[in-house]
Structure 1
Amino acid sequence: MDDEPVTPDATAPQPFEQASPDAAVSALAAQFEAELAATSAQVAEARAAYASASDEYQATKHEFDQANQLASDTDQRAEAAEQTATTSARLLLRAVRAGGNPLESADPLAAIFAGTGGNLLQRLGSLDQLARASASPSELAARAEHDAVVARGLRTQADKAKDAVGTIPVESNQQAVASASAAVDSAEARMASVQLQIASTGSVTRFPNFVDDGRLGKAAWVDPLRGQITDGYGPRPSRPLGTGPFHYGDDIAAACSTWIVAAAAGTVESTGPNGSYGNWVLIDHGHGVQTVYGHIENGGTLVHVGEAVVAGQPIALVGSTGLSTGCHLHFEVRIDGQRIDPQPFLAVRGVIVGR
């Protein structure tokens, strides 16, 4: 008798089927994309918190500076009034002593500043006694009392102004800015760690996973500096001068004092010293696009904040400030605050970086 066909048991263990290499790579890429998106969001959140803390600190600092200036001005006025009151008291005492007043051994400042309560004339003697020592003793007494009242009033105002300065939380807000800055550094470090993991797999070649959406339309772009690229965008095998594990721009070598030009038209948003960048310039090109120019020579910045520039306009001189081992330009492109690889971004706009 022929054997009947055996129906496979669906509940029986089935042979393990390995995922295809393409599927494994896709899954890994998807995982990294999710991790990169999460860390990028953390960076954006940390930067927003830093911007908020910085704005609050600047407002508090402005309030503190104004209050401090008011306290200083009021203190100077109080000192001047006290000097005037001292002079008036001495003139009055001279008149009293000349008339043989029994209070001639009294301290005139104690009589003036201890609080006369409007009875200064009674405490120093009668008008008749003062009249023998001065042509206008009543005027001297009135002036001394008036000057003493003014001095006490201004001193009270000065003390209140000093107390007001102490209530402004400028130091705590400054600490909040420092904490927010540290949070940004921590978030960027986490993102760099993910980027390094991606780089080690070779599954992704550009970091972050930026899709060029053609921002700025047909705006003209130029090479910011002619020279050899000595360090490109991406993970660093070594970390010169204690820099981070990921390089967020292109280093273009050139002789010190070589002209650096704006890569595109925009508005200068920031200049001056900035940590490891040394002297830098940040240009906002609109629509979330920014470029950064770092390690500028001391005294070599030619533009100021708020200035409008055009593509190819000289903006600075090559230097070696900040964390730098030689004269070069550190050039970055940022999209919505995220630093991307400048070379492919400019390549599609007809520019080869460094050439």
Structure 2
Amino acid sequence: MKVMHSSSGTTATRARRPLTFRVIGFAAALSLVVGVSVVAGTSQAAFADDYPTWSDVTEARNDEAATKKVVERIKAALVQLEADAAAAQKNAEEKGNIWQEADTKYQAKATQTETLQEQADAASAEADEAETRIGELASRLVRAGGGDVTTSLLANSQDADALLYNLGMSSKISQQTSALFERAVQARNTAQSLTDAAEVARAELEILKIAAEEAFAEAQAAAQAAEEALAEQQERKIEFDAQLAALTSARKATEASYLEGVREREAARAAAEAAAQVPNLDAGEISLSGWARPAGGYITSVYGYSSNYGSSFHKGTDIGASCGAGIYAASSGTVVYAGYGWNGGYGNYIILEHAGGLRTAYGHIVDGGIHVSYGQSVAVGTKIASVGTTGNSTGCHLHFEVRPNGWDTTDPVSFMAGQGIQLG
């Protein structure tokens, strides 16, 4: 399979991070209007409008009945947000599984198509070789006549016996020449049959590709929605817990103290984010072409068909890194998928897109071990996740894929070697 080598810069910027609670615009944030839920197309706008505000908390503090009502509203909001986040994650897992199944069918058909074409090309080359050899033998046997025997033989193969007889050569054609002729005809017929089969497979492949693209788009949107729902749940819980403390504990929490805590968390998050953008070279040095090893460890399973996967085609290379070890961006790029919930056999899964549409993918990430978000730009060597054993995995390792055109896979070992990086 032809691969496209590319490299990109190492400067990282952040396109968008849904998990960030923005300090700017707190007045709007504290109005707690969530908008439309991402789960199953249902609207939570009316419920969101009823979220308790700090004004509600302040007014209810000295009124036992009012306090009880606000507390009930807060607890109901917490339950609803948790349910929304769980539903969004379930939806993301379902869409991810659908995409994974579609992608597996596409990859299997792509492999079949490529194999058929390779076999057709080999049969055609065999026919060419046999026909050339026939011509050479015939040229040595023919000593008279001005006709082009080789051209006549090949152009009129069905009448070869008559042609040779008319030339007075039938008695001189050796058994070897006859065998070569039969071999040439058989190889040419085989080549044509395989070419026809490859054309049919290509048409089927295009249909499967469209289905895989559509499934990926839905999985991508569902994963993003799940990420945002989780962020919403986490952010609101912090605020609602502070409101409950203001209403039920002896310590008198205030909106000002809550906002100060938000600012501190935001500053800590920003600092951690900036630190994460500094390339971590635990997995090895960055090559001159701008690539790095995605994880340390030995190769435990190769690309393609292997005894580890029976009749299934393995779409990547497994690297036996230890549990919790770092997973690093193989090159600078943008996060186009960050699974919140398992993605079929991959478990927790990340896809990065690099220059030229090339993509790399990272699977079996430990639960809670995804350190990047959809739309985020990362530099080569950035720690994006931690090794786990989620999905179809019997032990901690990284499943690493390279997709040169974004869809078709190629052998990561060969590709990375071309980038100056040795896996394993």
Q: Which residue of 1 aligns with 2:104?
A: 62
**Per the alignment, do residues 162 and 274 of structure 1 end up closer, same or farther by CA in structure 2, a change over 3 Å counting?**
closer
Whether 1:151 aligns to 2:196 is: no
Q: Which residue of 2 aligns with 1:32?
A: 74
**Per the alignment, do residues 204 and 195 of structure 1 end up closer, same or farther by CA in structure 2, a change over 3 Å counting?**
farther
**Alignment of structure 1 residues 221-232 onto 2, 5 Å:** none
| TM-score scaled by length of structure 1 | 0.50
**Per the alignment, do residues 22 and 307 of structure 1 end up closer, same or farther by CA in structure 2, a change over 3 Å counting?**
farther
Give the conservation status (yes or no) of the 8 Å contact 2:92–2:226: yes
Question: Partners in 2 of 1:271 and 1:243 — Cα distance?
Answer: 29
Give the conservation status (yes or no) of the 8 Å contact 1:121–1:141: no
**Alignment of structure 1 residues 1-355 onto 2, 5 Å:** 21-97=63-139, 98-99=141-142, 100=145, 102-104=147-149, 106=151, 111=155, 119=158, 121=160, 125-129=163-167, 130-131=169-170, 134-136=173-175, 137-168=177-208, 169-203=211-245, 237-239=264-266, 240-242=268-270, 281-282=366-367, 304=389
Question: Partners in 1 of 2:246 and 2:394 — Cα distance?
Answer: 38
Return the offset for 1:201. 2.1
Q: Which residue of 2 aligns with 1:321?
A: none
Give the conservation status (yes or no) of the 8 Å contact 1:50–1:181: yes
Give the conservation status (yes or no) of the 8 Å contact 2:113–2:201: yes
Give the conservation status (yes or no) of the 8 Å contact 2:323–2:388: no
Return the offset for 1:57. 1.7
Q: Which residue of 1 aligns with 2:374?
A: none
**Per the alignment, do residues 150 and 273 of structure 1 end up closer, same or farther by CA in structure 2, a change over 3 Å counting?**
closer
Larger Rg: 1
Question: Partners in 1 of 2:323 and 2:164 — Cα distance?
Answer: 84
Superposed CA deviations along residues 272-303 of structure 1, whole A, max 9, x for unmatched, are 8879xxx9634xxxxxxxxx5788xx8xx897
Name the stretch that deviates more: 154-163 or 18-27: 18-27
Name the stretch that deviates more: 99-108 or 26-35: 99-108
Higher helix content, 1 or 2: 2
Return the offset for 1:174. 1.9
Superposed CA deviations along residues 132-187 of structure 1, whole A, max 9, x for unmatched, are 66324544433322221111111112222233222212222222221111110121
User: What's the secondary structure of 2:264's corresponding residue?
Assistant: coil
Question: Partners in 2 of 1:133 and 1:71 — Cα distance?
Answer: 43
Superposed CA deviations along residues 202-247 of structure 1, whole A, max 9, x for unmatched, are 44799xxxxxxxxxxxxxxxxxxxxxxxxxxx96732234499xxx
**Per the alignment, do residues 28 and 48 of structure 1 end up closer, same or farther by CA in structure 2, a change over 3 Å counting?**
same
Return the offset for 1:81. 0.5
Considering Cα pairs closer than 8 Å and 6+ residues apart, tell me whether 1 or 2 has the greater RCO. Answer: 2
User: What runs of 5+ residues in structure 2 fail to find an aligned partner?
Assistant: 1-58, 249-260, 273-321, 325-344, 352-363, 372-382, 398-424
**Per the alignment, do residues 101 and 197 of structure 1 end up closer, same or farther by CA in structure 2, a change over 3 Å counting?**
farther
Name the Cα RMSD after superposition: 4.5
User: What's the secondary structure of 1:102's corresponding residue?
Assistant: coil
Higher strand content, 1 or 2: 1
Give the conservation status (yes or no) of the 8 Å contact 2:71–2:244: no
Give the conservation status (yes or no) of the 8 Å contact 2:85–2:226: yes
Give the conservation status (yes or no) of the 8 Å contact 2:130–2:183: yes
User: What runs of 5+ residues in structure 1 fail to find an aligned partner?
Assistant: 1-17, 207-233, 245-258, 262-268, 283-291, 309-314, 317-355
User: What's the secondary structure of 2:366's corresponding residue?
Assistant: strand
Question: Partners in 2 of 1:205 and 1:274 — Cα distance?
Answer: 42
